[in-house]
Amino acid sequence: MTRISALGLRRMALCSLSTFAILAAVPAEAARTDVTLGVRLEPPHLDPTAGAAAAIDEVVFINLFEGLTQVAADGTVKPALAESWTISSDGKTYTFKLREGVTFHDGTTFDAGDVKFSLERAKADGSVNAQKARFEAIDSVEASSTTEVIITLKQPVGDFITLLGTGDAVIVAPESAETNKTAPVGTGPFRFGQWVQGDRVELQKNADYWGTPVKLDKAVFKIIGDNAASFSALLSGDVDGFPIYPAPENLPQFEADPRFAVVVGTTEGETVLATNNARKPFDDLRVRQAIAHLIDRQALIDGAQFGYGTPIGSHFAPHAPAYEDLTGTYPFDVEKARALLAEAGYADGFKATLKLPPPAYARRSGEILAAQFKEAGIELEIIPLEWAQWLEQVFKGKDYDLSIVAHTEANDIDIYARDDYYFNYKNPAFNELMAKVSVTSDEAERGALLRQAQEMLAKDAVNGFLFQLPKTGVWDVKLKGLWENAPVQANDLTGVYWED
């Protein structure tokens, strides 16, 4: 047996105490205060009030720019630049009390004049706001004082408070509005750092933010357009995560890796086979019905989305309270499709173009649909487009036969009532229905009207209604605070932090 003297024990104790003192003197590693997130698409510019691309809002909305209200992660609406508001009994007059002490990133003061300028700009004749049609319900905006704004509507708008919490309604300053596309200036918790086009957009913490300071000092949105590169970037640590990971086929591998969290939620993204209703042969209901019968939604979800997604039969989110399952309106039936085409004078089918934007869900779905349509004699020429080309040719120019895109704006069924919208759908009965929806605030009555609208779109086969795009997030397991679901187009970084 080994014997240890009393002196030896004292020496060992002193040594242990010294070691403890040294370890205690070494500070714990501080949590990171930067984050790099991957995004699939580069925004065409950085002004959310001047474009329809979701890629804009996904970088700057909530982070750089704020509205009077804000749609939260759970879909509820909370105060933002307006700390409170009241609504008149007739639902037409909204009085907003604004926050005091708020400044824009360039140091100019936020006040009621900026609200008046922003909302009048959104509905002006020359407005390029993607939701201009919805702002046209505003009759007047009065700055009754520097901290109070009175908005009067032409008629009640049931979801007006929600509209004000979207990226299209952010408040901008007249001093910087014209340069926000390349040098955005807002009131948010982050300020613009730099945009290295083709590579990344950098944001810096706004030290003068009026609200709760964010925990991140720097945030980088890294643009990675290739699926293989996205996979490699995550595995190598070049990016900390993707709020929407573009390659669902890789999700099982990330789920098996303890370094990552895989979070699958919902979006407002109704993925549709957009159809030019004004162009032959798609101006014929029988042709559109035939197309609807040629869509095997589950095959699309399995083949293009590797099982992630929910079939839809109209333009409405399955998780919404007023949703109606209309996927059985035109079930997959090749023979029925052939009969309808023959009835319309296209017994031998026809040729058409399918213009596809860059996302994998669009490109993969296009290949599958082309094969499905060929069974009925419809030959689709697939034309891949970059995002700017798609916006110019399809969305703005309406120069297309068919396309595939996810419409990620919340509660946007009203787009089918817009005379100049790229679907070229003209239906006075639908427009009348949407007019009723816009002035209805009772939830039960509003829900009944919205179900009628869904049924009308489904029966008219306005578009091929495919699936609801899921939010497939993958990020470092220590990164906390990113949204699970996407009730609006946003990657809100205000609550993001690193766990020690």
Closest-CA residue to 123 (of 69, 95, 163): 163
Please give the span between the terminal C-alpha atoms of the chain, in angstroms, as a whole number.
45
Q: Do residues 60 and 181 make contact, with C-beta atoms less than 8 angstroms apart?
A: no
Please tell me whether residues 111 and 217 are part of one structural domain: no
Rounded Cα gap, residues 201 and 190, in angstroms: 12
Q: Do residues 234 and 441 make contact, with C-beta atoms less than 8 angstroms apart?
A: no
Query: Residue 444: which H helix or E strand, with range?
Result: helix 443-460
Segments of 120-232 assigned E as strands = 138-145, 148-153, 190-196, 200-205, 218-223
Please tell me whether residues 320 and 455 are part of one structural domain: yes
Single residue among 133, 152, 179 that ends a domain in this structure: 179
Please tell me whether residues 321 and 456 are part of one structural domain: yes
Please tell me whether residues 137 and 155 are part of one structural domain: yes
- 12 is written with which tokens? 């060992």
- Is 108 within the bounds of a domain? yes
Please tell me whether residues 64 and 168 are part of one structural domain: yes
- Is 303 within the bounds of a domain? yes
- Is 15 within the bounds of a domain? no
Single residue among 179, 210, 235 that ends a domain in this structure: 179
- Is 430 within the bounds of a domain? yes
Task: Say what the pLDDT of residue 438 is.
Answer: 86
- Is 157 within the bounds of a domain? yes
Amino acid at 271: T
Please tell me whether residues 243 and 257 are part of one structural domain: yes
Single residue among 129, 149, 179 that ends a domain in this structure: 179
Closest-CA residue to 148 (of 108, 103, 116, 188): 116
Cross-strand pairs, 380: 352
Please tell me whether residues 255 and 326 are part of one structural domain: no
Please tell me whether residues 174 and 120 are part of one structural domain: yes
Residues in the chain: 500
Rounded Cα gap, residues 191 and 183, in angstroms: 10
* Interaxial angle between packed helices 285-293 and 334-343, expressed in degrees from 0 to 180 and rounded to the nearest 10: 170
Distances, alpha carbon 316 to alpha carbons 301, 410, 420, 432, in Å: 17, 9, 21, 18
CATH number at residue 362: 3.10.105.10
CATH number at residue 50: 3.90.76.10
Task: Say what the pLDDT of residue 442 is.
Answer: 85
How crowded is the C-beta side of 171, counted as CA atoms within 13 Å? 28
Q: What are phi and psi of 185, to 5 degrees?
A: -130, 115
- Is 14 within the bounds of a domain? no
Please tell me whether residues 166 and 64 are part of one structural domain: yes
Residue 347: partners with Cβ closer than 8 Å, 6 or more residues away: 338, 341, 377
- DSSP string computed for 54-116: HHHHHHHBTTTB--SEEE-TTS-EEESSEEEEEE-TTS-EEEEEEPSS-B-TTSPBP-HHHHH
CATH number at residue 246: 3.40.190.10
- Is 403 within the bounds of a domain? yes
Rounded Cα gap, residues 163 and 172, in angstroms: 16
The 3-state DSSP class for residue 428 equals helix
* Interaxial angle between packed helices 443-460 and 428-438, expressed in degrees from 0 to 180 and rounded to the nearest 10: 160
How does pLDDT run across 451-489, given as a tens digit for each residue?
999 999 999 999 999 999 999 999 999 999 999 999 999
- In the predicted model, residues of the chain with pLDDT beneath 70 are 1-29
The 3-state DSSP class for residue 472 equals strand
The 3-state DSSP class for residue 24 equals helix
Task: Say what the pLDDT of residue 18 is.
Answer: 46
Q: Which residues form the domain of 121?
A: 41-179
Q: Which residues of 273-292 are buried (b: 16+ CB within 10 A; e: fewer)?
A: bbbbbeeebbebebbbbbbb
Please tell me whether residues 84 and 199 are part of one structural domain: no
How does pLDDT run across 358-404, given as a tens digit for each residue?
999 999 999 999 999 999 999 999 999 999 999 999 999 999 999 99
Cβ of 462: how many Cβ atoms within 10 Å?
A: 25
Please tell me whether residues 404 and 299 are part of one structural domain: yes
Rounded Cα gap, residues 137 and 390, in angstroms: 29
Q: Do residues 141 and 389 make contact, with C-beta atoms less than 8 angstroms apart?
A: no
- Is 408 within the bounds of a domain? yes
Closest-CA residue to 320 (of 153, 162, 439): 162
Rounded Cα gap, residues 41 and 244, in angstroms: 11
Query: Residue 466: which H helix or E strand, with range?
Result: strand 464-476
Please tell me whether residues 149 and 241 are part of one structural domain: no
When divided into structural domains, the chain yields a total of 3
Closest-CA residue to 122 (of 86, 158, 168, 166): 168
Work out the angle at residue 432's Cα, subtended by the Cα atoms of residues 428 and 436, and round it to the nearest 5 degrees. Answer: 170
